[in-house]
Structure 1
Amino acid sequence: MESCGGVMGVEPVDWVEIPAGTLRRGTPAEDVEEVARRYADTGVPVEWYRKEAPRAEIHVPGFRVAPSL
């Protein structure tokens, strides 16, 4: 077993840095009907798309993740 920082059996983690940025989430209100038609075969009711309207932009701070093995 490898030693990582003096602890036996702990494998080093290759962290991935995700930078801060702007996330656009949701569906523009004027596009809800078209999106619902386009994805009608998924069984998602149009009301669910309406819950995601209007589209909003939010700031997401930077963070790190470790890929799963």
Structure 2
Amino acid sequence: MTTHRTNQMLHRKPPSRAVVEANRLFKPVQPKASEYSELQKAFHDNRERLRSERLARSSADDNETSREDSSS
């Protein structure tokens, strides 16, 4: 009996065209983000923005320093 069940599980019928169409039309809705997760995302985005600005400033400072060294 166990063998029959195993074979049955391995050989599932593909979904019918109607089932595929219904799944396509009625996709699950994503839950609305909580206030906490929205704040966390805003914090993360702001931190990344500040990090990239800091790296750009650091790179610009390094370029200025190397230009001053090479012209001396």
> Do they fold alike, i.e. is TM over 0.5?
no
Give me the TM-score of the superposition, normalised by structure 2.
0.20
Larger fraction in strand: 1
Structure of greater Rg: 2
